[in-house]
Amino acid sequence: MKKVAILIEDQYQVLEVWYPYLRLREDKIEAVLVGTGAKPEYKSKEGYPAKEELSVKNVRADDFSAVVIPGGYAPDILRRHKEVNDFVKDMDKNKKIIACICHGGWVLASAGILKGRTVTGFSAIKDDLVNAGAKFVDKEVVIDDNLITSRNPYDLPVFCKELIKKLKVK
């Protein structure tokens, strides 16, 4: 069975966590909410709770087929944790799927995996992605090898479609 880590922290974008979580489960793919270990539950920007099922301190790239990095302001907190950056870097090194949407690109930049990659993301972080070595394109989904990126919640249908398609191939 495929297993996907969905990174969470306070101020997450509610649709970018729950839409992929529920879509994956609908397709019989295990989705696990992975937090920083700071507390048992994190709140979305609107206050919607997400319970940490695993701490990033207790996960390994070998345990997952993919990781989803949602947006909101959570990525700015996530990327301050060495364990988060190391996990994402290990996922990339092992050619596991990394699906990132909106402000999630901040984690990719802090993990140091963007040099020479083609990505998209929320327009406000374009400079951050480019300065981390990526080529930025404004499209609803961009696939660069094991990396899937999208811009915002409106892109979730195609983002999840591509993620699930890639999971079924691997």
Strand locations in 29-161 (E): 30-35, 41-43, 49-51, 54-55, 66-69, 97-101, 118-119, 135-136, 141-144, 147-150
On the CB side of 13, CA atoms within 13 Å amount to: 23
Closest CA to 69 of 170, 168, 163: 163
**Annotated catalytic residue, options 23, 79, 103, 151:** 103
| Paired tokens of 36 | 């920083």
Q: Is 81 a catalytic residue?
A: no
Give the C-alpha separation, 126 to 55, whole Å: 29
- Active-site positions read 103
